Amino acid sequence: STSIQEATLYHYEDFTLPLNFENASRKVESFHGGLNFTTNWRKLVLKGLNAYQFTYVNQASSKVSYLSLWNFISGRYKILEKYSFLIDYEYKKHFIEKEEDLFNTPYQIVDLKLEYSGNSMVAGFGGAVFESSLIPIIDLLLKKKKYYISFIRKFDVFLIKNQYSQTDALELIDNSFVFGYDGLKHKSKIELFNVDYKNESTSGLRFYSDIELKWLNIEQKIGFFNLNTNALNKPLDYYSTTSLFFSPNVWFWEDSRYQPFVGAQSVYIKHSGDLGLDPIYPSVFREISLEPYASNLLNLEIGLLVNQFKLSYKWINFSFSDNSIVQNSINEFFLPVIPIRHFEIIWQFWN
């Protein structure tokens, strides 16, 4: 059997970034397209994704064109009942045209892996082929009832902009160890990771928890970075996001056409002071030398859920003081997030 999906998107944006100086105009026009297919034979499954994105940006009298091409193909061949051979091919090329200069950065990766899949264990061992080099990769998952532990070692390449408005291919090896719990009403995991790149190394710790009850949903994400002291030029030391949604889906509200609700979201970020966020800088992140600083954004929402409609009143950057601001950018001309209040209606589409 074979399934094919095709998608296209056109996007036009005439929006000025929140900058506090003249000639801050910005116009963006972009074209997107993709083709996704899946072919399933008895022992062989093939999947593919081909996509492109062309973007034209006219900002502050500077005109730049970007073109990105993706090609991803994966195959799984079942050798025996519990053994499979996997191959993943990834190719990407990024073009930048600026002031009659053309730059392009390509890369391609081939992952080869032999996988064992049992009731309580999934194990995959192989290698990633990149520029005539073979990098070992590992996927290991052990499960016992609702608990699991996993170890993953993977190789990846990211395309990032540098300070000269060109693109660099960043190679990295990500090693992570995860201990988790997967229940019906509660899911949580703790992840210890280490990332090696550019002859440097950084370690961190992430925590995730999600509690889903009939009347309450709480999601918590916490991350610690730069745990090793030799890590340099990392933008964040710590972050924490909390999302709370309270709606009494009990008693007579359980069968009612409407339900009242209260929602809250908190985003706390501890910046390192070594690498700052500057949205108008070519590489977005700029090296600085500041004391660590923090920002905390709190949003509140109250309203009604009415037959696939959500009617609510929102406070963005909620504070008891009208002078409260949230500033994450180090650019002195970039305006901060100020308190905003508005009423909104959302039509929710459910499957």
Say yes or no to pLDDT of 196 above 80. yes
pLDDT of 279: 72
Length of the chain: 351
Q: How many CB atoms sit inside 10 A of residue 162's CB?
A: 11
Is residue 266 predicted with pLDDT exceeding 70?
yes
Bigger pLDDT: 90 or 331? 90
CA-to-CA separations, 321 to 98, 154, 317, 324, in angstroms, rounded: 45, 47, 10, 6
Q: Which of residues 135 and 249 earns the better pLDDT score? A: 135
CA separation, residue 266 to residues 7, 217, 341 (Å): 34, 14, 16
Identify each DSSP E strand in the chain by its residue range.
2-14, 26-40, 44-59, 62-78, 83-98, 101-117, 121-130, 133-144, 147-161, 167-182, 186-197, 200-212, 216-224, 236-246, 258-271, 275-277, 285-287, 293-306, 309-316, 340-347
Asked whether the predicted pLDDT for residue 351 surpasses 70, the reply is no
Q: How far apart are CA 71 and CA 69, in angstroms?
A: 7
Which of 82-96, 219-233, 309-323 is most confident?
82-96
CA-wise closest residue to 209 among 176, 245, 181: 181
Q: How far apart are CA 101 and CA 96, in angstroms?
A: 8
Token look-up 């009612």 returns 256
* Across 98-112, 165-179, 301-315, 322-336, least confident range: 322-336
How far apart, in whole angstroms, are the C-alpha atoms of residue 104 and residue 67?
9
pLDDT at 177: 97
Higher pLDDT, 210 or 321: 210
pLDDT > 90: percent of the chain: 51
DSSP state of 339: P
The pLDDT assigned to 226 comes to 80
Q: What is the mean pLDDT of residues 204-210?
A: 96
Which residue carries 């999601």 as its tokens?
219
Encoded tokens for 126: 């192989």
Question: Considering all CA atoms of the chain, what is the largest pairwise distance in Å, rounded to the nearest integer?
Answer: 67
What is the token pair recorded at 289? 């030398």
Q: Which tokens hold the place of 189?
A: 């995991």
Inter-residue contact 126 to 86 (CB < 8 Å):
yes
- How confident is the model over 76-92, as a mean pLDDT? 94
CB-facing half-sphere around the CA of 192: CA atoms within 13 A: 6
User: Average model confidence (pLDDT) for the chain?
Assistant: 87
Average pLDDT over residues 188-204: 88
Q: In the prediction, which pLDDT does 16 show?
A: 63
Q: What is the pLDDT of residues 145-175, one digit of tens each?
A: 999 999 999 999 988 877 777 788 889 999 9
Give the pLDDT band of residue 67 (cuts 50, 70, 90). very high
* pLDDT tops 60 at residue 231: no
Q: What is the mean pLDDT of residues 233-240?
A: 84
In this prediction, residue 17 has a pLDDT band, given cuts at 50, 70 and 90, of low
Q: 322-342 pLDDT, tens per residue?
A: 566 777 777 777 767 778 889
Residue in 309, 302, 303, 306 with CA at minimum distance from that of residue 257: 306
- Residue 24 CA to its chain's centroid (Å): 28
